[in-house]
Amino acid sequence: MALRLASRVAAVREAAGFAAYANQKYAEALAEFRRRPADDRDRGAVAR
């Protein structure tokens, strides 16, 4: 639910990606990292 409410907040998406990765849900983690806004200058863990 938090992801739906804050889907445009890059920090929330990145945190969700790290949580998924920690739980060995690698495809979900990668999807969350890739959903970051296109205008986000700080790419974080995964560069596009």
What is the tens place of the pLDDT at every residue in 10-31?
788 888 899 999 999 999 999 8
Range of the domain at 48: 1-48
| pTM for the structure as a whole | 0.61
Residue pair 10/40 in contact (Cβ under 8 Å)? The answer is: yes
Cα–Cα distance for residue pair 41/47, rounded to 1 Å: 10
Number of domains into which the chain is organized = 1
For 4-47, give the DSSP string. HHTTT-HHHHHHHHHHHHHTT-HHHHHHHHHTS-TT-S--TTS-
Task: Look at residue 23 in the predicted model and tell me its pLDDT.
Answer: 96
| Helix axes of 26-34 and 10-22: crossing angle, nearest 10 degrees | 170
